[in-house]
Structure 1
């Protein structure tokens, strides 16, 4: 009876369980910060319990060693790839856990599943780049900045008017800012350009599927036309921006070709004697002078047909893009008819020998003069082609 009397007549503030409060500060990245004031009746809860009761819909990966936070408020990675931006070692982007102690943030050395939360504690989470021992802390909010100090209780007569409850204040999320440009959109083969991007109020950023930071300049040297896509993830959705870098093909260089020049020279028949050739050539060179040789009644033989010998000269290829057409140049010495010689005296024989020697020199000089003139014409044609 006494115990029942004491329980009934205890003051209301002692009969009810004490209400505890803890503050939670969450940095979603890109200037987006969420705060929550969470109440609980237990003497203490864990950091993971505080996050669950905040209403920010965390996504976790429960492992044998503890619980790994993958995403908060739609920012982060899926549960099946909780550290999606931490491949390759070194610094990466992940959710870091913090405690505000003596007015400053301290990186948590314990997991959220075992860290105790009591009345008046400020806990924090931050999405950003860091390593296993350090990262970017959330903004420095005090407990009073998140949880309002309750007013002093004043005794009032009981009424039927319902007491309003505190509604957590949710900061408005600004829209993402995205700038994605290239120094040059068209490149020659083998050239490079810079891709530039600057973002704000985002959660994650990917270039062609690879995670990147929010502001960066990256040089690219594509070998062919390529499309670069920047995928932006932010609270409430995602967007993609694309740039096409066009690579022009290298110009084709034609291969130089050689030019062949044909020279044809007349070759006298083998059966003609030197005296007959000399007499016939002298007659061709000096048609107006009378011949000192006595005329005979015997008819002269008809001129024999001559054969031609072909000489091929290859001109080196020209360094220009215009191929030099092959030119066929034919030079032939005068055909030498076969003439049957009549009997001559000793004096006439000596004169014929002298004339034969002179005609031979004249023939050689004429032949080499023709060769020289043809060579000069070929050189002049090549020089004119190079100049044009």
Structure 2
């Protein structure tokens, strides 16, 4: 009897009640085990080195001891666009985020209180980053937890046209300190440019005008055309333009000049030299031979054989440029004022032979040559 009583006391003394929690599932366990490891063995709970057990396996248990077992589990995690498989003893998403030591304001694809055992898809975590945005001629820093360029654009409400360009693909993962340039490209915008159309000049023979005479019969006027261009802009600046169409709105009017073809009659023989007044000394040199030409020069230019006032006529006999060159004066000088008196008289003789004294109508009449 004494032995039975002592055995009963020993049994009661060694029997313990332990609270066992495995991944949040709690149960009461009656055990004679002395350590945590023995209790788990008796309860048929297998643990590995990756599991977390508290207290540790070698700890002695007593009546009322609570044993916490967190079984290690593998979770697929995408962190800032990079895929990983993470082994964790955490129970919730919050536990895993804490273990990974990422910023508390990171963007997580599941609620923090979600049980890891209930995850159906890989857990996506995007840490805070600062991206330098360059767009429309401005640059600024934008904090974001977006994972990709595309997500950042959606987050910022930026819409891209089909022709716009990005400095990185939309699928590219964002990294802290990244610079993203958005280049706006506009093509097809049209502008209209008005341009002048030059007129041409036509010479028409006129038998009613003497040779060497010219008359403008139709005044030329320029026309106008409208050219339409398609322009290409990059960030608001024109980089190219392509002609689309041209329309003539005003036709040019060509100028017409009547050129004399009528031959001048041969004048009567000049009066005797003695009848002509004596010429004054010429500033350009000694008076040439031939009193008639000297008298004519005195009337036309005051006897100055090298005069050039800029009125279109020069020399002692006041040649126009066209008359001077037409009669061969160009072999002496570009204009009559640059030639000697004798050279001017030689050219004048050619004009007189082809048109008479009518080349100098006023002074020739005064001298009685007409």
Structure with the greater alpha carbon radius of gyration: 2
**What TM-score results when the alignment is normalised by the length of structure 2?**
0.30
Relative contact order (alpha carbons < 8 A, sep ≥ 6): 1 or 2 greater? 1
